[in-house]
Amino acid sequence: MPNLRHEHKIELAPGDVPALRARLSALLAPDPHAPGGCYAVRSLYFDTPADTALREKLDGVDRREKFRLRCYNGDTALIHLEKKSKQSGLGSKAQAALTAGQTAALLAGDLGWMPNHPAPLVRELYAKMRGQGLSPKTLVDYRREAYVYVPGNVRVTLDSDIRTGLRRTDFLDPACPTVPAPGPAALLEVKWDAYLPDLVRAAVQLPGRRAASFSKYAACRMYD
């Protein structure tokens, strides 16, 4: 299993973002994997016919998981299949790379290539699509600014313009329409390993703002 990491989320009002951005950019380094420090994220989440992932999140189930497809800046040359897991408040993420052709086949219901895929995560998704009825549910789009701090392996992100595809699953279609999702103007996420350095802890403190359990997937299912 990938390393379990701590995760801290804070819902932000519009006025919080400029001051927080200035503070983070002064103290932390921009994510080297994000040219310009800001990029677009598109995710397609999977769930069962009984909405198991959604219900477990809303009910605060201690051990839970969800599958999603993800790409960045509309680039489908590299698509990530990801499984996010939660256990005792700690999170982990497993990944496997998919091609646009494999993704198109999956979305079309052609799963025959999956049982022999070299990545265990792809084979696991196949088993759960067959055994649990797991299927694509909705698109989630947003903008992300990312910062890193090497001590503690810290990653801080500011997510804004969160949008939902409602029940659309056209992951590969850049023109697929989306609408604003209900929720905060922006979301601050802080992830770290064994410890959170005091410098980062102080940088992300905001008067009147407290840790939240906001889920983009749950927010984007609110219109269902």
Q: Please, what sign has the CA dihedral across residues 98, 100, 102, 103?
A: positive
Q: Which domains does the chain have, with CATH numbers?
A: 6-220 (3.20.100.30)
DSSP for residue 37: G
Closest listed residue to residue 164, CA positions, set 115, 210, 220: 220
Residue at token pair 């016919």: 49
- Average per-residue pLDDT for the chain: 93
Would the pTM of this model clear 0.75, i.e. be above it?
Answer: yes
Sign of CA dihedral 104, 174, 215, 191: positive
pLDDT digits (tens, 9 = 90+) for 118-157: 999 999 999 999 999 999 999 999 999 999 999 999 999 9
Q: How many angstroms from the chain centroid is the CA of residue 132? A: 22
**pLDDT tens digits for range 40-98:** 999 999 999 999 999 999 998 989 999 999 999 999 999 999 999 999 889 999 999 99
Return the number of other C-beta atoms located less than 10 Å from residue 109's C-beta.
8
Residue with tokens 């810290």, as numbered in its chain: 154
